[in-house]
Amino acid sequence: METNNGLSGEDRRRILKLRCSVKNYDWGRIGTDSAVARLYERNNAAELVDGMPYAEFWMGTHDSGPSYVLAPDGKLVENGTLANSGFHKAGLSLKEWIEQNPRSVLGDKVFAKWGPNLPFLFKVLSVAKALSIQAHPDKELAARLHKVQPDSYKDANHKPEMALALTEFEALCGFISLEELKDVVHNVPEIVEVVSRTGVDKLLAIGEQDGEDKAKEVLQLIFTQLMSARKEVIEQVLLRLISRLTAKREAMELTDKEKLILRLEKQYPSDIGVLAAFLLNHVKLSPGEALYLGANEPHAYIYGECIECMATSDNVVRAGLTPKERDVQTLCSMLTYKQGLPEILQGVALNPYVVRYLPPFDEFEVDSCVLPEDASVAFPAISGPSIFLVMAGEGTICSASNEELVEEGDVVFTSADTEVTLATTSGMDIYRAGVSSRFLCRND
């Protein structure tokens, strides 16, 4: 049975401000150089810590970084009353809010598929140095890993995701093409030192008559041998590689990939991930471009700031460029080994102010809204929930039930079937995450 927890039914259609969580991973940007830090400081009225990296700003219901509901006077809601303390954990989480009235908050279709859970997790990332080479498991593997290693794999969900560039943004994403891989074994002798001669010969022997499955089989063999190499072997090979590239740089211009290899080695000396980067696509996004990643695809964000959205999960299988726990065997066995460049999304304009990014996943989509001075735009009522983030500027967000003044760092939640209007006199940049409109409109 749904309950109100001391809050009226009309409150369920209110625009709710949220207080959100931050992650201080060591790859994050430091202090006010970080968009994450600036958002967190304003959202929480918090003081930043000198020298602290601010890596991720989380908006959603995941237990590892929950958001909390603010009452109209700006205080946290606690068990139907207002909390006197500004301390997060005293308050009512967004997850608890949804669980009290899940069908009316999430909408019938979302509730029917995902139960009393917000199906997406919304983030901002500020990346100063490379994240780990990683992949996210599909649902079947995630459930198995969570059951066997719950301390390492925190939930049983899959984690398709999308990164929308706020600045120039770099990533490693997916495996290079077969022809590029052949070039690597010709031009990077250090790779050949680590993997077996048999694997290299099989790769070079692949012709047009051989199918995609054969290419995947050989790629898996080479990648697994590389990632499984002994640490002392990798240390010696990387010493020779860096020495060779440093000498080459004195005589000629390095390729973009070679320049990247030198950067990564400075960040993660003696790490196998430096060598593995030769096998992955180096992708550069301009602001407003997005890439998406399905389950079991290798990737590593390298530098820049982005909006990120994903299914509500924190499952990561790591194998390189990280001091954290690695699971090389699982990563190498789970990958799809598809080759070629990932699709880059440019977004589709819904009106003069709103561009939508719609990856092929049911759990989420992201809208970018840029309002100039003295402009307004309506977001029609939809049959699923939304989270809005004010990235810059100030203005108002209103529904039929209430109106809120908002500014940079404010995050608001809207329930299903809530029409929202944004307005500004000075200009405002807002991002919205919601359940995929394709899913909401499907008749199944």
Q: For residue 2, which phi and psi values (nearest 5 degrees)?
A: -80, 145
Residue 419 has which token pair?
Answer: 């029409």
Residue 75 has which token pair?
Answer: 């205080």
Please state, in angstroms and rounded to a whole number, the distance separating the CA atoms of residues 102 and 61: 13
Residue pair 345/365 in contact (Cβ under 8 Å)? The answer is no
Please state, in angstroms and rounded to a whole number, the distance separating the CA atoms of residues 389 and 402: 18
Please state, in angstroms and rounded to a whole number, the distance separating the CA atoms of residues 194 and 228: 9
Neighbours of 51 (CB within 10 A): 7
> Cα 169–171–175 angle (5° rounding)?
150
Whether 318 is catalytic is yes
Residue pair 150/265 in contact (Cβ under 8 Å)? The answer is no
Residue pair 14/401 in contact (Cβ under 8 Å)? The answer is yes
Residue 439 has which token pair?
Answer: 């899913």
Please state, in angstroms and rounded to a whole number, the distance separating the CA atoms of residues 418 and 381: 5
State the residue for tokens 């995609």: 212
Please state, in angstroms and rounded to a whole number, the distance separating the CA atoms of residues 382 and 284: 34
Residue 97 has which token pair?
Answer: 């809010």
Please state, in angstroms and rounded to a whole number, the distance separating the CA atoms of residues 193 and 429: 50
Catalytic residue among 12, 13, 38, 318: 318
State the residue for tokens 């809530």: 418
Which residues carry out catalysis?
A: 318
